[in-house]
A = this chain, B = another copy of it.
């Protein structure tokens, strides 16, 4: 039977149509100024043409904004479940999204044993890369191409606001933008490694969320953790996938 999971994040809305363990459809769009609009769009796109309305589970920041879901579940539970479907041996999940980051610790059976969440400070989230990229006239999507093989210039400030000023001042003292960008990614990767180490570094470690698409970031994070950092093409859907899986379990009972 089909189930749908929608992850209403503060930056991106993600959705999955699942049949058993198989992903049938994916949905992804920037979260609208009115997040409920994006949830409705995801729902209509994913269920289109199906004879019967699939079981719908909502997760993420905006999960309580609409009233037509069958179930609402916290991100943490969904992320753990979704991560295990993508990579069954996963013991630690690091998720870095547009406006938050979290580390999730799972036992051998995949049960949630502990987690840490940051949604208070922009410096540990995708927003940091967004702000600095914009300051240097770049888009986040171009970061890998720009920073490949580039030696990172050291960055002193970790606060997004102070880093922005530092980057402007490095530019005007003639440092190349690609070295600054590599330095910015490296500084954030170092910070994320500390964040992860506060909880667990038990491998395998799966990196999910929007920032996981940045290969330079993954490489630098692996360096600071001194361990492998795995990812998956569907890593950004981990929360939605977990939500859809909860529906599958519910239907089986």
Contacts and interface: CB of A to CB of B under 8 A. Distances in A.
A161 B120 contact: no
Interface residues of A, number: 14
10 contacts: A33-B169, A33-B172, A99-B162, A121-B121, A122-B160, A122-B161, A122-B162, A127-B162, A160-B161, A161-B161
Contacts of A158: 120
A17 to B, nearest CB: 31
Interface of A: 33, 99, 120-122, 127, 131, 158-162, 169, 172
A197 B99 CA distance: 29
Nearest to A131: B161
Contacts of A172: 33
Contacts of A120: 158-159, 162
A124 to B, nearest CB: 10
Nearest to A158: B120
